[in-house]
Chains A and B, each alone.
Chain A
Amino acid sequence: MGVTALKICVCIKQVPDSWAEKKLTAADNTLDRAAADRVVNELDEYAVEEALKIVEAGEGEVTILSVGPVEAADSIRKAISMGAHAGIHIVDDAIHGSDAVATSLVISEALKNRDFDLIIFGSESTDARMSVVPAMVAARLNLPQMTFAKKVEVSAGALTIQRQTETGYDEVKSSLPAVVSVVEKINEPRYPSFKNIMAAKKAPLETLSLADLGVAASSVGQANAWSAVSAFADRPAKPAGTKVVDDGNGAAQLEEFLVTAKFI
């Protein structure tokens, strides 16, 4: 660990509970957020945990940032209750329906000039699943993109990660500040302690609008997105398959199915 205190920002997203069934809204083809409980994107919890581990190994402060509707404040406090120190909530009606391009713009504008040493994301959100916002934020802030980390090491002004790849991992180095995203194998997120839950209720939460950030409403929101959904439909239900109970004959029946379907 370096001698100086680290300032870390963790960007989180409030999403519908991934265990619940998700639906799109017919009115505007966006996610129906009322249809499911709202939770912190599970993959962001690994980002919060990693940030806390880094500052606990030395010294520093962890700030939670989220762009989202009024209710997202609950998720920010939930993340703070893991042990973080402060929150930034960017909320503005105009943001509804924004694409990744606009979301990354809002996050970057909120982060610039704040001197964070590390900006940490989860590897993707469980609802949109695009996995592009961390890379876009790195590009916009012109910072090293250190994404898909399964291990993170910070030492005096330098960062080393193990970047998960299709075949194993790459060791990658960069300087600080940097933008990091972490995969779920990196750690085991902690449960909030009672003390931290109480502290989170009083933690400072900065609430900012697009005007506060100097972002024009015309560059965000569904109407200004660079891609648009034109239609959606439920996947046609699969006709019920055959189900047999193994009475010693199960493998033979399965074999027959595979033969008929020409797999063997």
Chain B
Amino acid sequence: MSDVLVLIEQTKGEVKKVSLELLAMAAKVGSPVAVVLGPGADSTSGLLGEHGAKKVYVDSNEIYVNQIVVPTVTALTSVINELKPVAVLVPSSADSKEVAGRLALTCNSGVITDASDISADLSVTQNIFGGATIVTSKVTTGTPIITVRPNSIAPVTGGATAEVIALAVTHESGSTSVTNRVAVAKSGRPDLSEAAIVVSGGRGVASEDGFKNLIEPLADLLGAAVGASRAATDAGWYPHQFQVGQTGKTVSPQLYLASGISGAIQHRAGMQTSKTVVVVNKDPEAPIFDLADFGVVGDLNEVLPDLTARIKARK
């Protein structure tokens, strides 16, 4: 079967769930081959094999985290030239989309971003205009390079031990250097773009304390990630990393619970493909209700604490 290359995203050996989803997507098209780069890469092959990778190309070089994007492009290009895969799949993260863009140039190949599905003939499904339009497209030149959105497919387990291949790449001296990494404290909640449930708050939450007292406790009871509208992140009530929407994260969870969010087009762009949407908003005319499977017209200061108490009582 033809090889399908998958770029694995990982930090210090911790593999992102989207990477495992991509292995499942790759299996629909051919034989998944993982490329895993950066410190910690060498500890991932077991997990990747278990999730369907037949081969795993590994390079733990620090260079992949110390420079922006270019070393990853160099490594992938060398594997593509060697293996001649039928397609290359990368996650739809900011970094990996840039990798895809540059890869298109080094491999003279077309690139399609933000796929939600790929069929066996390599037709790609995308949801565009904030999910309002569904497009089918295809790369017509070179090796299709496709970025895939998180939560587009469930990971598959039960794979065998993968063949591990040490990757030896010669890198040119780089033009960018990462001198410091600053991470916001990890919350212990699931990653926003990968979470099955997202509990989101907007301007209606009204303060930082509102997020702490109303949104976070509900999220924690549901095992959910917390999201926020731009109005809430701009006001400083919640960090930008948690913004959902056009200039924040795109999420596609099983359940999206939006409280105090009006549903501006830029917000919908980040959550419109959620499977189930639940809304709490005091304005019955708020556009977010158009997306709601279940909506409560009411004050979130009343509804959310009551709901949280009820769920707690069930446990």
Residues of A within 8 A of B255 (CB): 258, 261, 263
Stretch at the interface among B23-31, B36-44, B129-137, B158-166: B129-137
Cβ–Cβ contact A185 & B240, under 8 A = yes
Q: Which of A173, A226, A253, A261 has a CB less than 8 Å from the CB of B176? A: A173
Known: A101-B110, A254-B303, A263-B222. A139 touches B284 (CB 8 A): no
Q: Would you list which residues of chain A between 89 and 133 have a CB under 8 Å from chain B?
A: 99-101, 104, 123-124, 126, 129-133
**A62, B109: Cα distance in complex, Å:** 34
Q: Contact at B137–A139, with CB atoms within 8 Å?
A: no
Instruction: Tell me whether A235 and B101 are in contact (CB under 8 A).
Output: no
Contact of B303 among A123, A162, A250 (CB under 8 A): A250
> Would A132 and B111 count as touching, CB distance under 8 A?
yes
Name B70's closest neighbour in chain A (CB-CB): A145
Instruction: Tell me whether B306 and A251 are in contact (CB under 8 A).
Output: yes
- Tell me, yes or no, whether A156 is within 8 Å of chain B by CB: no
A212 interfacial contact with B, CB 8 Å = no
Query: Known contacts being A235-B127, A244-B297, is A230 close to B278, with CB within 8 Å?
Result: no
Q: Taking A101-B111, A226-B104, A227-B112 as contacts, is the C-beta distance between A130 and B97 under 8 angstroms?
A: yes
Q: Is the CB of B183 within 8 A of A168?
A: yes
Complex: chain A residue closest to B129, CB-CB: A22
Interface assignment of A37: CB less than 8 Å from any CB of chain B? no
Residues in A neighbouring B73, C-beta threshold 8 A: 139
Interface residues on A, range: 35 or more
Q: Once bound together, how far apart are the Cα atoms of A174 and B173, in whole Å?
A: 12
Question: CB of A152 within 8 A of chain B?
Answer: no
Please tell me if A203 contacts chain B, counting CB pairs below 8 Å. no
* Residue among A139, A162, A233, A245 facing the most chain B CB atoms (10 A cut-off): A139
**Taking the complex as formed, is A241 at the interface, i.e. its CB lies under 8 A from any CB of chain B?**
yes
Assembled-state Cα–Cα distance A22/B183 (Å)? 36
Residues on A with C-beta less than 8 A from B142 are 226
Convert A10-32 into 0s and 1s, putting 1 for each residue whose CB lies closer than 8 angstroms to a CB of B.
00000000110111100001000
| Nearest B residue to A183, CB-CB | B247
**Interface residues on chain B, number (Cβ under 8 Å):** 85
Besides A173-B176, A227-B137, 16 more A-B contacts (Cβ < 8 Å) are A24-B135, A129-B113, A129-B114, A133-B101, A136-B104, A139-B101, A145-B68, A164-B240, A184-B247, A227-B144, A232-B133, A250-B296, A250-B303, A251-B307, A261-B276, A263-B254
A-B contact pairs, 13 of them (CB 8 A): A133-B101, A136-B104, A167-B183, A168-B241, A170-B180, A171-B181, A175-B175, A178-B175, A185-B240, A234-B133, A241-B277, A242-B293, A255-B311
Interface positions of B (Cβ within 8 A of A): 68-70, 73, 93-95, 97-98, 100-102, 104-106, 109-114, 123, 127-129, 131-142, 144, 175-184, 186, 193, 197, 222, 240-241, 246-247, 254-255, 265-266, 272, 276-278, 280, 284, 289-299, 302-304, 306-307, 310-311, 314
Interface set of A (CB-CB < 8 Å, partner B):
18-19, 21-24, 29, 43, 99-101, 104, 123-124, 126, 129-136, 139-140, 143-148, 160, 162-175, 178, 183-185, 225-235, 238, 241-246, 248, 250-255, 257-258, 261, 263-264
